[in-house]
C-alpha cells in the first residue's frame, strides 16, 4: 500500500476512535445514558476535548482526501515552465501557484473535469499532459501505429526481394 493510503486509513481510524467517546458524551447529555459527573460550565469537558479532536481528525481526513484529489488533477496538467513535467512534479513557483489554484477550486466544489476545463480555457489544450482524442489529435494518436505498420510492410517487402533473388537460379551464360 502507498503511504497516502496508509495515512488516510490511519486518519479515518483515529477519527472513528475519537468519535466513539464523543457519541457516549452526547447520549449522556441527552439523558439516554447516565453521566458520570457534571463539570462547571467554565471548565473544559471531555466531550469538548474529544469533539475538537474528532473534528480535527475529520478535517485532516477531509484535507487528506482533498490533497489526494488535488494531486490527481495536478498530475494531468503540464507545467508551463518545465514543460516536460506535471505541475505535481514540478518545483517551479508557477507550478506551486497552479497547485494551490487547483486545490482552491476543488475545495469550492468544482469537479476535476471543471478544473481541467478552466486551465484549458486559459492555456489551451497544450496544458493537458494527455490531450483528448478529438479532431486532429486522432491523427496524432493513430500516426505511430500507422508508422509501425508501414515499417513492417516495408521490411516484409525487402525480405521478399532478398529471398526471391537468392532462390532463383543464376542466369545462364550467353550463347557464343
Q: What's the residue count for the chain?
A: 176
Q: Which letter does DSSP use for residue 43 in this model?
A: S
* Angle, in degrees to the nearest 10, between helices 93-107 and 112-123: 140
pLDDT one-digit tens code per residue, 110-143:
999 999 999 999 988 888 888 777 777 777 778 8
Please tell me the total count of domains within the chain: 2
Q: For position 116, what pLDDT does the model report? A: 93
Does 81 fall in a domain? yes
In DSSP notation, 56-91 reads: HHHHHHHHHHHHHHHHHHHTTBB-TTTSSSBTTT--
Does 173 fall in a domain? no
CATH of the domain at 67: 1.10.8.640
Cell matching residue 164:
526471391
Interior CA angle at 63 toward 85 and 48, to 5°? 165
How far is it, in rounded angstroms, from Cα 96 to Cα 82?
A: 12
The residue among 113 and 24 whose pLDDT is bigger is 113
8 Å CB contact between 8 and 63: no
Residue numbers of the domain that contains 118: 63-140
How far is it, in rounded angstroms, from Cα 147 to Cα 95?
A: 35
Average pLDDT of every residue of the chain: 73
Residues 68, 133 share a domain: yes
Q: Which of 23-27, 68-72, 85-89 has the lowest mean pLDDT?
A: 23-27
The residue among 27 and 89 whose pLDDT is bigger is 89
> Global pTM?
0.48
Residues 136, 75 share a domain: yes
Quick one: what percent of the chain has pLDDT higher than 90?
A: 36
Q: Name the 3-class secondary structure at 4.
A: helix
Amino acid at each position: 500500500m502507498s503511504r497516502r493510503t496508509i495515512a488516510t486509513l490511519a486518519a479515518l481510524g483515529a477519527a472513528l476512535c475519537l468519535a466513539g467517546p464523543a457519541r457516549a458524551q452526547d447520549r449522556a447529555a441527552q439523558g439516554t445514558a447516565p453521566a458520570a459527573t457534571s463539570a462547571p460550565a467554565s471548565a473544559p469537558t471531555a466531550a469538548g476535548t474529544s469533539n475538537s479532536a474528532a473534528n480535527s481528525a475529520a478535517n485532516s481526513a477531509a484535507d487528506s482526501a482533498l490533497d489526494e484529489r488535488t494531486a490527481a488533477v495536478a498530475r494531468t496538467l503540464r507545467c508551463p515552465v518545465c514543460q516536460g513535467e506535471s505541475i505535481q512534479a514540478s518545483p517551479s513557483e508557477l507550478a506551486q501557484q497552479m497547485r494551490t489554484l487547483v486545490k482552491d477550486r476543488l475545495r469550492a466544489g468544482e469537479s476535476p473535469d471543471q478544473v481541467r476545463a478552466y486551465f484549458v480555457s486559459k492555456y489551451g489544450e497544450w496544458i493537458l499532459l494527455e490531450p483528448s482524442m478529438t479532431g486532429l489529435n486522432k491523427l496524432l494518436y493513430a500516426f505511430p501505429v500507422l508508422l509501425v505498420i508501414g515499417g513492417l510492410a516495408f521490411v516484409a517487402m525487402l525480405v521478399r526481394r532478398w529471398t526471391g533473388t537468392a532462390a532463383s537460379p543464376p542466369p545462364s551464360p550467353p550463347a557464343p
